[in-house]
Amino acid sequence: MANHMWLARSLMSKYKASLRVPADLRRYGRQPSRNRPVRRFIGRLLRWGVIVAFFVIIIDTAYLFYLAPDWRALAQGDIPKSSFIKRYEQRLANGEQLPALRWRPVYGQAIPETMKRAVIVAEDSRFFQHRGIDLIAFKEAMLSNLQRGKLQYGASTISQQTIKNLVLSPARDPLRKWHELVLTLWMEMRLDKQRILEIYLNIAEFGSGIYGVEAAAQSYWGIPASAFNIDQAVALAASLPSPSKHNPQTNTRRFNNRVEKIMGWM
């Protein structure tokens, strides 16, 4: 019996010894316990990040609905004043010495096909092929910018410019570009291409205080837009990148070079 008891105690001692962790391993084994607060902090940070991102998305979505115009009214009703026109009116009201505002929207046949074609050729040759965003033009613009080592060319479509002029600001920050992208895609789902082009030609700036093709035709040539010939249509299209500096009145070298290019493309 004594032998059996001794054997049992011996086996129990060996079993307990096998469960003990050596001192050096115990030392290393404490490392995870020291890292546990860090892991908890990172986990908490990630959870708060997800919560904040969720609320940012909700707020930004609500803001986009606030910015968006009444698509049904825009699709068939009167063309409203753009945010750029309203901003110009505010500057005049604040006493800035600026030319008087000239803007008179026109519809349908009052905008000749020559004018529409000139603008499409100059600004967005694939206007009727894309759905608001021209990925081919974007790729070409980025490659050209990389070759030149600077951000010189953009790839904004007529649809994007319409949304920017209509409800957004001239800011170039990423958030504004994001709003422009979402609202452009939204507009393309609600309005047909001809209506988008009609809106654009009525709110685009063609000179200091001159908005829309009708005001431009009256200001530069004293005629209605419906009487445009191809030279006048091309001249207006050539002014679009920077209309305050380069237009039929300033007649700069850069403006004339662009007129020649567009006429060649036409």
Whether 16 is covered by a domain: the verdict is no
> Beta-carbon neighbour count of residue 120 at 10 Å?
18
> Beta-carbon neighbour count of residue 174 at 10 Å?
8
pLDDT in tens, 50-109: 888 888 899 988 989 999 999 999 998 899 999 999 999 999 999 999 999 999 999 988
Whether 25 is covered by a domain: the verdict is no
Whether 1 is covered by a domain: the verdict is no
What mean pLDDT is reported for the chain? 85
Asked if 96 and 200 sit in the same domain, the reply is yes
Is residue 102 helix, strand or coil?
strand
> Beta-carbon neighbour count of residue 43 at 10 Å?
10
Whether 2 is covered by a domain: the verdict is no
Task: Please tell me the predicted confidence (pLDDT) of residue 45.
Answer: 81
Whether 8 is covered by a domain: the verdict is no
pLDDT in tens, 10-43: 655 654 555 454 555 445 455 555 677 778 878 7
Task: Please tell me the predicted confidence (pLDDT) of residue 72.
Answer: 93
pLDDT at 234 over 70: yes
If one compares 52 and 192, the residue with the highest pLDDT of the two is 192
Q: Which amino acid type is present at position 152?
A: Q
Task: Please tell me the predicted confidence (pLDDT) of residue 149.
Answer: 59
Identify the domain boundary among 67, 87, 113. Answer: 67
Task: Please tell me the predicted confidence (pLDDT) of residue 53.
Answer: 87
Asked if 180 and 218 sit in the same domain, the reply is yes
Task: Please tell me the predicted confidence (pLDDT) of residue 104.
Answer: 95
Q: With contact defined as beta carbons under 8 Å apart, do 168 and 179 qualify?
A: yes
Task: Please tell me the predicted confidence (pLDDT) of residue 37.
Answer: 77
Whichever domain contains 160, its CATH number is 1.10.3810.10
Asked if 39 and 150 sit in the same domain, the reply is no
pLDDT at 231 over 50: yes
Whether 24 is covered by a domain: the verdict is no
If one compares 194 and 151, the residue with the highest pLDDT of the two is 194
Of 67-76, 105-114, 118-127, 141-150, the range with the lowest mean pLDDT is 141-150
Of 24-28, 129-133, 245-249, the range with the lowest mean pLDDT is 24-28
Of 97-111, 142-156, 213-227, 234-248, the range with the lowest mean pLDDT is 142-156
Task: Please tell me the predicted confidence (pLDDT) of residue 153.
Answer: 55
Identify the domain boundary among 52, 67, 82. Answer: 67
Identify the domain boundary among 18, 44, 67. Answer: 67
- Average pLDDT in the 190-216 region? 96
Asked if 53 and 105 sit in the same domain, the reply is no
Asked if 161 and 122 sit in the same domain, the reply is yes
CA 220 to each of CA 82, 107, 115, 211, 212: distance values in angstroms, whole numbers, following the listed order: 22, 20, 15, 12, 12
Whether 145 is covered by a domain: the verdict is yes
Whether 183 is covered by a domain: the verdict is yes
Asked if 96 and 114 sit in the same domain, the reply is yes
Asked if 50 and 161 sit in the same domain, the reply is no
Asked if 76 and 173 sit in the same domain, the reply is yes
Asked if 138 and 255 sit in the same domain, the reply is yes
Task: Please tell me the predicted confidence (pLDDT) of residue 205.
Answer: 96
Asked if 84 and 44 sit in the same domain, the reply is no
> Edge-to-edge strands of the sheet including 102-103?
102-103, 210-211, 205-207
Task: Please tell me the predicted confidence (pLDDT) of residue 95.
Answer: 92
The reported pTM is: 0.79
Asked if 57 and 115 sit in the same domain, the reply is no
pLDDT at 171 over 60: yes
If one compares 215 and 11, the residue with the highest pLDDT of the two is 215
- Provide the residue range defining the domain that includes 49: 34-67
Asked if 55 and 107 sit in the same domain, the reply is no
Number of domains in the chain: 2
